[in-house]
Amino acid sequence: MSKVCEICGKGRSAGKNVSHSNRHTVRSFNANVHKMKLDIDGQVKSVYVCTRCKRTLNKEI
């Protein structure tokens, strides 16, 4: 499963875990994407959409 939003392009970002002893290790934050069926150019396609874009799409409908 591709963790990238088809509309805005939001994807994986990087950060660090910081322990109590202040050691830093690299970690990743995945985008909260859901599979949706959208009408694109008259065809229904199944695409991955982040929750922010999903809320915007529901608002426009």
User: How far from the centroid of its chain's Cα atoms is residue 5's Cα?
Assistant: 5
pLDDT at 4 (0 to 100)? 94
Average pLDDT, the chain: 92
In the predicted model, what is the mean pLDDT of residues 16-33? 97
In the predicted model, what is the mean pLDDT of residues 2-8? 89
Tell me the DSSP string of 9-56.
----EEEEEE-TT--EEEEEE---EEEEEEEETTEEEEEEEEHHHHHH
Checking if the pLDDT of 2 tops 90, the result is no
pTM of the shown model = 0.75
